[in-house]
Structure 1
Amino acid sequence: MAAAGVLHVVATPIGNLGDLSPRAAQVLGSVAAICAEDTRHTRQLLAQIGVSTPLLALHEHNEEALAPRLVERLRAGESLALVSDAGTPLVSDPGFRLVRAAREAGIRVSPVPGPCALVAALSVAGLPSDRFVFEGFAPAKAAARREWLAALAGEPRTLIFYESAHRIHAMLADAAAAFGGDRRAVVARELTKLFETVLDGTLDALVARVGSDADQRRGEFVVVVEGAGEDGAARLAEGRRVYALLAAELRPSLAAKLAAEITGAPRKALYGG
């Protein structure tokens, strides 16, 4: 029986083709097939590096059904590569079901590290990077997004989000309301691409800057927000305690206003009104 193949999890450029490592190019050219989120996108990358390896579409709608068949190919001795549209696979992208199935089958899963938008943004943000949390994309609907952000207001670690062009301004405005407009943040846009920009300042300042410049609402975004710190988390906890007491006697909006004034916690994190 042939030795089992290897599943290579390969990071690809987030913009600049020069960021594809020689090892990644070698692996992509040597495997039996490449599992790609969007085969059209990956085909363009392969054409640029002169690779003609067969492509298989692997996305959120077919991954669960396709994973067992791919594991059988790996068992039979074929090696496969897994890529996403850009950056490191499985970071806000499909793939974990295949990786889990391969590992459960005793297949070797080997990372080929490289570009990752969240790490790239954090590295240039100038915000604390010793402890951070990645939250992916905010909910698309405004009410759900505001509630979700409010729940993160007391998070002491640096927060990292991905966001789309058509929601970046609304997301920043909601973050300012939830975290307080004076919270420091960075908006990293089109990282490693021709029109890369990295804006920093308070959330209020970033809302104004992005809102006034249409160019800053184009492309792909990573938002990095300073954490509340341990003191901020304690203020929020106390604010929620005080709010709960006041809300038993007062209307919610007034209870939140008073609790915020008493404790210094962001009002929006206490009450969504």
Structure 2
Amino acid sequence: MKFSVLIAHYNNAEYFKDLHRSLLSQTWNNWEAVILDDGSHSEEKEAVEKLIAGDERFRFYENDENYGVGITKAKLIELASGQICGFVDPDDAILPTAIEKSVEIFKNDNKTVLTYSRFVTCDENLKPVAPFRAARQVPNHDMLFFNYPIQIAHFVNFRKEVYESTEKMNPELKIAEDQDLYLKMYEKGKVKFINEANYLYRKHEGGISQNDNKKKSYEFWGKVIYDAMKRRNINIINGKKVPEKFTTEEEIFTLLDYQNGIKFRILKKLKSLFQNW
């Protein structure tokens, strides 16, 4: 089973060195790394190309201009030749068994469409700081599951064949494209949590998800959840009507406030523990 590591690159050549090393250390050998550069400076592109030169497992492509993550990540999936795909940001890294742990699940259970694990927050030098403790197994086949609050997070991998049967990634998304992907895959089969930290998430000033885009991220996330409600033909949530048209993210998250309650969280956890795999 071939695994495609999908990398949307934009001016991250220096940090990419750590990701490159982590890929070379993988215990699963049947993998490729597909890199799509989204309008980086010429010296940044040249640095990446020089690093991967001579290794046929790495394939490098370029957008003709800066399109953003929605278009770039959608293109990356199209370029992938593996049965299983997983995104890794160019400034992060994965641990040696990360790919193998995921592939084994897909090999042994053809009903699993997506896997995810824990990630570890790291400093700028990729030194571990703290694990993401909220990650845990989510209940499967729940029409009211919207990954809110977030539990599905890095390292997320999915079956390309199943992805092709969805509406696919929304290329218009500038942020929250990952949440869009997770919810669409969730609707197609089982998701499985790997209770290990397999992903190193680097925090630094230049990180896209760590800067002024946080408010925008919240807005896009609200729209992604609203689109999922419409796909699932959900009209009422917890006694409240789902709006006919999307207006603001606050309106959507207000519908889901009850999912942050202690009682709901306990019931969800119990459902996850005793679900029939």
**Length-normalised TM-score, structure 2:** 0.26
Name the structure, 1 or 2, with higher relative contact order (CA <8 Å, separation 6+): 2
Larger Rg: 1
**Length-normalised TM-score, structure 1:** 0.27
